[in-house]
Every structure is written in C-alpha cells, then in structure tokens.
Amino acid sequence: MSKAKAVMLDGKSLAEKIKLELKKEIADSGLNLGLAAILVGDNEASRLYVDLKEKACKEVGITFSKYLCNSECYDDIDETELLEMIDFLNRDKQINGVLVQLPLPEGFDADKVIKKIDPAKDVDGFNNGNVTPPTIAAIIELIKSAGENLSDKNAIIIGNSDIFIDNLENHLAKLGIKEIKKEKNIPTNCANYDVIIIVLGQARILKKENIKDGAIIIDVGINKLNGATVGDVDPEVAERAGFLSPVPGGVGPLTVACLLRNVLELTKKS
C-alpha cells in the first residue's frame, strides 16, 4: 500500500480555536447573544445540522432558540405562517441571528423565505454582503491554513449551485489566487489545477488520477455511503495531494464555528 502524502487540513482544530476565541470575546463583551434556528419538516440530516449548531452555541455562550416545525412538534406549517414566524424573530430584540435550515420541504419558496430574514440578522449571509456565508468562510480559512503562496496558483471550483459557486469565486479572487475556473462536472484536464474545491454531492467521485501532484484539495461534499459519511473526494487522493481537507473533519465543523462568528459580527454592526 502506498503512503498518504497529503497534509490534512484540520477543520475540527481550527473550529475549536475559533470557538475558544469567540467564547472569550463574548464573555468579555458582556453581550447576551441569541441565535434562532427554524427547521421545517423531517429531513434527518437537517435535524442533525441544527443539533450541531445548538451544541456549538452552548459551548461559546450564545443562547440558541430552536423552532422545530416537524411532525413531532407542530401540527402543520404553511409558507404564510413561516413568514410570520420570521417576522416575529426579526423584531425580537433578544435574537441577534436568524437562520432557516435548508432545504425546505416541497411547496415552500426558499428564495422568498430567505429574503424575509432581516439582513441585519442574516447569519447565513444569503441576503447581502453583511457577513461571509459560513461555508465560504470555512473554505477560505482551510485554504489559508495550508500556508501556501496563492498568487501563482490557479483554482477550479466544481459544483452545481450557481449562486454558491459565483459567491465563492468572488471570495477566492480576494485571496489573490491567479486564475479561477468554474465547472459543473470534473473536467478531463483537472490535473492542471493547483487548488480544487469540489461540492457536487457525489460520493468519492474525485479520484487520485484526476489531480495534480501536490494540489490543495477542499472537499465540500457530504454523502452517505454504506451508512458512513463520506465526501466527494476518494481517500486515495491523499496519496498525491499536497493538502487535503477531508470529510468528515474539514469544512463541516469549521462552517458551524464561522456561523457563530457571524452572530457576534452582526451584533457588533447593529
């Protein structure tokens, strides 16, 4: 068996560091911070993500209010009621951040729902540029943690959500990466890229044959394979990559920490 050569980019440790800093800053500031999360429907993965956000809030001293509109807790909710709920939270002075966990069940207009969140409380950064969306912030932190000079590097973002990809491209450009390409599928010339960010939602689709020796690989995929959580990157990629942000333990935990950082940032701005 060949040996893994990639340096693992440790999102979990970076997340712990951010949470410790946040905990101290929140305690020192004397601020009472509140984050409200709304979950509609019975999506198991979404429930898990909301629970992870709740746990992290507890760790840093942010009051977490969970609004579960699922079959267990709530009779039924329609879009009008959901919009009213958001309006109520927008006006609640004890709430500094509001998020609606996505995806929403069929029949809900996610765009309309998200737009209802007061931009001053939009911790996901979906509505304007008040804060960086947590997943994008996590990707940026991981790339920076590799400690490489980026000005002579080209990057490719492989993903199928145009809004996310365009937003990520803008943020990567600010990092000083020389050239950024966007693709909806893994291109045949993928081995030309120094940085690969993949967010396709296809288990272990990026193979070691696809990449350049020494490349920085950021796996943003979350998939279930035989009951295990795996990313879009095949583990054998570690035999050729220079740096790899793995799944689990990479973007995921860091995204939650970046979300909490946004609660404090929005509160300071308001």
Q: Which residue has the tokens 């690969």?
A: 196
- The tokens of 155 are what? 């990057």
Number of residues that bind ligand GUN (CB under 6 A): 7
Please, what is the minimum distance in Å from the beta carbon of residue 102 to ligand GUN? 4
For the beta carbon of residue 191, count every other beta carbon within 10 angstroms: 14
Q: Binding of ligand GUN at residue 232 (CB under 6 A)? A: no
State the Cα–Cα distance between residues 208 and 229, nearest whole angstrom: 20
Q: Binding of ligand GUN at residue 52 (CB under 6 A)? A: no
Identify whether the C-beta of residue 53 lies closer than 8 Å to the C-beta of residue 22.
no
Instruction: Please name which of 207, 203, 210 lies closest in space to residue 236, comparing C-alpha atoms.
Output: 207
Q: Which residue has the tokens 């803008």?
A: 170
Select from 122, 124, 194, 265 the one that contacts ligand GUN (CB under 6 A): 124
For the beta carbon of residue 110, count every other beta carbon within 10 angstroms: 12
Q: Binding of ligand GUN at residue 99 (CB under 6 A)? A: yes
Please, what is the minimum distance in Å from the beta carbon of residue 161 to ligand GUN? 10
Residue nearest to ligand GUN (CB): 102
x/- site string to ligand GUN, residues 134 to 153, per CB under 6 A? xx------------------
Select from 31, 52, 102, 146 the one that contacts ligand GUN (CB under 6 A): 102
Write down the number of H helices and E strands in the chain: 7, 11
Taking contact as CB under 6 A, which single stretch among the options 6-14, 55-63, 93-101, 194-202 is the one that binds ligand GUN? 93-101
Q: Binding of ligand GUN at residue 86 (CB under 6 A)? A: no
Tell me whether residue 49 or residue 193 sits nearer to ligand GUN (CB atom): 49
Residues 161, 131, 44, 36, Cα dihedral to 10°: -150
Please, what is the minimum distance in Å from the beta carbon of residue 136 to ligand GUN? 9
State the Cα–Cα distance between residues 205 and 207, nearest whole angstrom: 6
Length of the chain: 270
Taking contact as CB under 6 A, which single stretch among the options 20-28, 100-108, 152-160, 261-269 is the one that binds ligand GUN? 100-108
Bridge-based pairing state of the strands 97-100 and 34-40: parallel
Please, what is the minimum distance in Å from the beta carbon of residue 111 to ligand GUN? 13
Please, what is the minimum distance in Å from the beta carbon of residue 233 to ligand GUN? 18
Residues that bind ligand GUN (CB under 6 A): 99-102, 124, 134-135
